[in-house]
Amino acid sequence: MSVSRIQVHGDDPYDVVVGAGVLAELPGLVGDGVRTVAVVCPASLPEISRPVCDALRAAGYEVLALPVPDGEQAKTSGVAAELWSAFGRYGMTRSDAVVGVGGGATTDLAGFVAATWLRGVRLIQVPTTLLAMVDAAVGGKTGINTPEGKNLVGAFYPPKGVLCDLATLVSVPREDYVAGLAEIIKGGFIADPTILMLIEDDPAGARVPEGEHTRALIERKIQIKADVVSADLKESGLREILNYGHTLAHAIERAEDYHIRHGEAVAIGLVYAAELSRLDGRIGDDIVERTRSILTSVGLPTSYRKDAWPELREHMRIDKKSRGAKLRFVVLNGLAQPSRLEDPSEELLESAFYEISR
């Protein structure tokens, strides 16, 4: 399998390397002058961190393996503090490095502790899930959750490189893999309709890492994020389009105490955002129905329980895209035409939710 390189431009440019055998590039990204490399990885998946640790040790680095809880349970101030304490006990200096290995929650956490330890040490991300490869590990957003909401504490901190070994996707549980498709589908609606056509051409193939269009879907979504982040690292404008579907999604995640997969929440959020767009007169029924059809074809949810609206509305109140007391949503003016909807009426918000709760 050949290796592809997708560059993220900016003040600190880096490559997202996609293919097989990409771990061979890890020592080069860590670089010279580094003594210790902290490898942050889910405790339940030592097998995915082992090749990373072996490659680093073979290159002469001291490896500090730091297991963390699975999923969103890792993204807490307590877990971050434990990692900082481990860095201190081991004597990690500003010339050392952190490698995040695993899904999006792990790469978010690893990036945050790397950004904040000694005000920033070298970071390399090795995402091993579909969601992390196409979204979480790319773009330099790092963060942890608080009781008040998701990713409210964080930093923009680009890595030195991202290594996506497609072979690791074969071992990802099917439900987790399918959940990652929500972020790819989002990319199709906001920027690259070819993604939608590839999935519609072979929805069964889209659900598995061995699918005919798998690599094209992954690379197209990474390219979307690379293009957006290159133009707007700190979400001052353009980058907000990547939040399409996420305002409701984050509220659902909090309502479910993070026991729902991020991609499943995003899938519901995509339908909600499409309904908002339609009810606001921006798009027709065709895009809303296409949203439902594509998500359903790969096995993702498109609705949520009706009685949850008051709780979800309260959670959205402190969404990080809000400005003052005003909610801001990413909506569509047409296919691949994202826009913003600021301070929508309560009637519009509730009407759109009614459409996804019927």
Of 122, 220, 225, 321, which residue is the catalytic one? 225
Of 246, 261, 278, 315, which residue is the catalytic one? 246
- The answer to whether residue 262 is catalytic is yes
136 with 226, same domain: the answer is no
Q: Do the domain assignments include residue 238?
A: no
Give this prediction's pTM: 0.94
Task: Give me the pLDDT at residue 281, please.
Answer: 98
Q: Do the domain assignments include residue 210?
A: yes
Task: Give me the pLDDT at residue 318, please.
Answer: 76
**CA 322 from centre of chain:** 20
45 with 8, same domain: the answer is yes
> Looking at this protein, which amino acid is placed at residue 332?
L
Task: Give me the pLDDT at residue 230, please.
Answer: 94
Q: Do the domain assignments include residue 273?
A: yes
Please give the residue range of the domain that contains residue 147: 4-171
- The answer to whether residue 243 is catalytic is yes
185 with 113, same domain: the answer is no
N-terminal to C-terminal alpha carbon distance within the chain: 46
320 with 227, same domain: the answer is yes
Q: Are 87 and 38 in contact (CB under 8 A)?
A: yes
Residue 202 annotated as binding?
A: no
Cα gap 254→318, rounded to integer Å = 12
- Per-10-residue mean pLDDT, the chain, length 358: 91 94 94 95 93 96 97 96 98 97 97 98 97 95 92 95 96 96 98 98 97 97 96 88 96 95 97 98 98 98 97 85 76 97 96 95
161 with 207, same domain: the answer is no
- The answer to whether residue 317 is catalytic is no
Look up the CATH number of the domain holding residue 9. Answer: 3.40.50.1970
Q: What is the per-residue DSSP string for 146-190?
A: ETTEEEEEEEE---SEEEEEGGGGGGS-HHHHHHHHHHHHHHHHH
134 with 251, same domain: the answer is no
Which of 171, 189, 210 is a domain's end point? 171
Residue 246 annotated as binding?
A: yes
Of 122, 207, 220, 250, which residue is the catalytic one? 250
Q: Do the domain assignments include residue 237?
A: no
Residue 36 annotated as binding?
A: no
Look up the CATH number of the domain holding residue 339. Answer: 1.20.1090.10
Residue 70 annotated as binding?
A: yes
Residue 213 annotated as binding?
A: no
Residue 314 annotated as binding?
A: no
Sequence-distant (6+) residues with CB within 8 A of 325 are none
| 52: three-class secondary structure by DSSP | helix
135 with 280, same domain: the answer is no
Of 243, 253, 275, 315, which residue is the catalytic one? 243
Of 25, 235, 240, 264, which residue is the catalytic one? 235
Q: Do the domain assignments include residue 284?
A: yes
- The answer to whether residue 235 is catalytic is yes
Of 25, 122, 145, 183, which residue is the catalytic one? 183
Residue 186 annotated as binding?
A: no
152 with 257, same domain: the answer is no
- The answer to whether residue 183 is catalytic is yes
Residue 141 annotated as binding?
A: yes
Residue 146 annotated as binding?
A: no
Q: Could you give the number of structural domains in the chain?
A: 2
- The answer to whether residue 141 is catalytic is yes
